[in-house]
Amino acid sequence: MTVIAVRNGIMAADTGARAGSLKRYATKLFVIDKAVLGFSGTLGDGHTFINWWKSGHDLDAVPEFKQYRGSDDAPDIHVMVMTKDGIELWTEHFQPHPIEMEYWAIGIGAQAALGAMHAGADAFHAVEAACSVVEGCDLPVIEANIEGVSVKMRRPNGAGTFPVADLHPGHN
């Protein structure tokens, strides 16, 4: 379960994930070629999309998603892509939809994050707020921007930041 928010050139995401009834942590933000990508949905589908993006995101070579739960079930994926040109929302249909709002959020915690940003919160604090009220959204929060193409993780309750290069081997 996920919450990802974007505002003022910053994208933030929770790090919670589930494997059945077990809690685990997952990286949902990636910095690739001066773009920040954040996904909600199954981890397998998310990584399929991220790998497709890393390989040049050729619309003539879109991947097949493998994380179906049944024969009639569609892939469960939403990806926000933030570049210097703006923000787009991508789904399993591989058609970008421009986000023309000052801020946006996706995932199960989107409504809580949107409410927090409507009240003035930045992306990090919007995700933090969603984590406090939405079951399945978990701290810590990761944030990324395209200006410095850096990824930082803020500890819960703002107790400093530290690089998370070890969570993104090979990413700059």
pLDDT of residue 18: 84
The domain defined by 3-159 folds into Glutamine Phosphoribosylpyrophosphate, subunit 1, domain 1 (3.60.20)
- 8 A C-beta contact, residue 90 and residue 82: no
Kindly report the pTM of this predicted structure. 0.84
End-to-end CA distance of the chain: 26
If you ran DSSP here, which 8-state letter would residue 167 be given? G
pLDDT of residue 70: 56
| Max CA separation in the chain (angstroms) | 46
pLDDT of residue 152: 62
Give the 3-state secondary structure of 48-63: HHHHHHHCCCCCCCCC
Token couple for 138: 């978990």
- Per-residue pLDDT tens listing for the chain (172 residues): 899 999 999 999 999 988 778 888 888 999 998 899 999 988 888 999 999 999 999 999 988 876 555 555 666 789 999 999 999 999 888 889 999 999 999 999 999 999 999 999 999 999 999 999 999 899 888 899 886 445 566 655 555 544 444 344 444 3
Domain limits, the chain: 3-159
How many Cβ atoms sit within 10 Å of the Cβ of residue 90?
19
pLDDT of residue 172: 39
Side chain identity at residue 49, one-letter code: F
- 8 A C-beta contact, residue 14 and residue 88: no
pLDDT of residue 61: 92
